Amino acid sequence: MMAAWSVTSDGLAIAVRLTPRGGRDSLDGVETLADGRQVLKARVRAAPSDGEANAALIALLARELQISRSQISLTAGASARLKRVLIHGDAGTLAARLQGRLGGI
């Protein structure tokens, strides 16, 4: 089973399942898909048009992990619900922050 995030040479790679027009901007924990992959569930208020939902996802992750938006890049799934995000920085610190943020979920 693949974890929702993994350490890379650049930082932390995260598999995200994004729900646009989700009513609020939040991280909703980790979900296991039918094929066994794990993804971080996220929802944003923004609509999935003109990259608005992707921008909202990047802003949400930056706020939750207390980093700048410039440290986050969307590497796959720009127009899909399942996305791959790369967060540049110290992977151990980022993973610990993400785990801590999800601890209450």
Per-residue pLDDT tens for 64-101?
999 999 999 999 999 999 999 999 999 999 999 998 88
pLDDT at residue number 39: 97
Dihedral class, residue 10 (left if φ above 0, else alpha if ψ from -120 to 50, else beta): alpha
pLDDT, the chain, mean: 93
pLDDT beyond 70 at 33: yes
> Tell me: domain 5-90, CATH 3.30.1490.100, correct?
no
Region of residue 21 (phi > 0: left; psi between -120 and 50: alpha; otherwise: beta): left
